[in-house]
Structure 1
Amino acid sequence: MKPESIGIINTHNAEQYTWGNGCAGWHLVKSDALSIIQERMPPGTAEVKHFHQRSRQFFFVLAGEATMEIGAEQIVLKAGDGVEIPPLVAHQLRNDSTTDLHFTVTSVPKSHGDRVVIPQ
């Protein structure tokens, strides 16, 4: 069986979307039960602070450096680092560095439609 016939997925053939100020995401797995997205965030960009009612997420840095605010705590994630965010926990991912941030976010179940933005 050729690899193409078993559904190889990557950023060249995955469904892509843009968000924020020049950020991009690729749906590597997109189902109601599981979402795996690879994302790119340019320097100085951030998502809004929010939480998910049902979704548990795992962020994994592929390249660059991420600043993750979890509740009142901030941690820095470098390539090869990951962090799990349980449901109902406020969080915000930022790229405070001078280079692009590349990471994956795995959500169980999918996080789209489950986000509650925290007013700033």
Structure 2
Amino acid sequence: MHLARHAELEPYVTRDGSTIREWAGPGYSPARNQSLAEATLPPGRATTAHYHRAAEELYLFTAGRGRLRVGDAERDVQSGDCVVIPPGAVHKLWNTGDDDLVLVCACSPAYSHEDTFLAEGEPDAG
């Protein structure tokens, strides 16, 4: 059995500029076909618009509020919302609240930097 504890997970910054902690994924857990991570976006920050050719993503928002654009659709999001992002869909996330925007992200196939393609310049420095 593989057990991951949040407090023991090392955060890192993805190509889109969000900070994530991965609970499961290839290379460090038995998971081979998917990954599960927590992403955090501080107040006033935004990710870089990007897409994944292969991965389908599920975003489950657990804290904060923000705005998410997927393709041509743009919606406000908050804790308790879940969004499906299909492969190839350009998406961008903004934290519009006063607290961290936190979401659990499931990817299938598993997240990889090589499957992340930027659709605009470098990540927003805030």
Q: What is the TM-score with the length of structure 2 in the denominator? A: 0.80
Higher share in strand: 1
Aligned-pair distance for 1:119?
Answer: 2.9
Q: Measure the CA separation in 1 of the matches of 2:43 and 2:76.
A: 14
Give the number of aligned pairs.
114
Partner of 1:35: 35
Q: Which residue identity lines up with residue 35 of structure 1 in the other structure? A: S
Q: What is the TM-score with the length of structure 1 in the denominator? A: 0.84
Q: Measure the CA separation in 2 of the matches of 1:12 and 1:119.
A: 33
1:110 aligns with 2:110: yes
Partner of 2:13: 18
Partner of 2:77: 77
CA displacement 1:42-92 (0-9 Å, x = unmatched): 101111101110000000101111311111221111111110000011111
Instruction: Mark the structure with the bigger radius of gyration.
Output: 1
Q: Which residue identity lines up with residue 30 of structure 1 in the other structure? A: G
Percent identity, aligned pairs only, is 23
The worse-fitting range, judged by mean Cα deviation, of 31-40 and 41-50 is 31-40
Q: Secondary structure at the match of 2:39?
A: strand
Aligned-pair distance for 1:33?
Answer: 1.6
Q: Measure the CA separation in 2 of the matches of 1:104 and 1:12.
A: 15
Q: Measure the CA separation in 2 of the matches of 1:57 and 1:66.
A: 17
Distance 1:108 1:93, change over 3 A: same
Unaligned runs of at least 5 residues, structure 1: 1-5
Q: Measure the CA separation in 2 of the matches of 1:50 and 1:67.
A: 15
Q: Secondary structure at the match of 1:12?
A: helix
Aligned-pair distance for 1:13?
Answer: 1.3
Q: Which residue identity lines up with residue 118 of structure 1 in the other structure? A: A
Alignment equivalent of 1:8, drawn from 3, 9, 22: 3
Distance 1:97 1:49, change over 3 A: same
Q: Measure the CA separation in 2 of the matches of 1:38 and 1:29.
A: 10
Unaligned runs of at least 5 residues, structure 2: 27-31, 122-126
